[in-house]
Amino acid sequence: MPKEGIPSFQSTINIASLVQEACTAVACAAPDCHKDEIAHLMEHVLPRIQLEDFADTPVNTRGYRRKVLYAHPSGFFSVLQLEWQPGAETPVHGHNAWGCVGVISGEIGCETYDRCDASEGGVRSNGKITAGAGAVATVNPNPEGIHRLFNPTDKVATTLHIYGMDLSANPCAVNVTYGSSAHRN
């Protein structure tokens, strides 16, 4: 292993290898460092990750599909793959755990929000960004990091998400929604 503790991947990496490295990262780090360790790992593996085909997973009413690829048996983290159709978007939400998101292909937009009492749902937009392939972002648990993700392009985008909780039974359990639009699917 290199000095930083991240293996040097010479070719493609599959989900099983990512999971093995993520298990090592959370086992060797203090719980308050898990998010940063996973983000660092994702930065190194995104260019070489080989994702699973999940065309059999239906697209939800918001235009994206998600699949849980792995949930740690002790609940330390879950790995999800999402595919975003053009125009897809999440509701405005926060998370019940830390999270890391990596863009595999395409572009993903993120609009962030501040809590307030005046606007609908108690949030107000404070800006948007767009991220392309290779970008990695992190989010802290609710009420920090309130946001929505969306595909602003006319091409499909793919993202990899790692959240600090067990999502095997309910992939939406990580979300805390705001506003009038409930999280559907």
CA 157-99-56 angle, 5° bins: 40
Domain count, the chain: 1
* C-beta atoms surrounding 150 within 10 Å: 22
- Interstrand relation of 93-95 and 99-105 (parallel, antiparallel or unpaired): unpaired
Which residue range(s) make up the domain with 110?
A: 54-177
Query: For every one of its 185 residues, what pLDDT tens digit does the chain have, with 9 covering 90 and above?
Result: 344 555 554 578 888 888 999 988 888 888 888 999 999 999 989 888 988 788 889 999 999 999 999 999 999 999 999 999 999 999 999 999 999 999 999 999 999 998 887 555 688 889 999 999 999 999 999 888 899 999 999 999 999 999 999 999 898 889 988 876 544 44
CATH number of the domain enclosing 111:
2.60.120.10
147 marked as binding residue: yes
pTM: 0.87
Task: Indicate whether 29 belongs to any domain.
Answer: no
Task: Indicate whether 20 belongs to any domain.
Answer: no
Task: Indicate whether 88 belongs to any domain.
Answer: yes
User: d(Cα 45, Cα 19) in Å, to the nearest integer?
Assistant: 11
Task: Indicate whether 145 belongs to any domain.
Answer: yes
40 marked as binding residue: no
95 marked as binding residue: yes
Task: Indicate whether 137 belongs to any domain.
Answer: yes
Task: Indicate whether 148 belongs to any domain.
Answer: yes
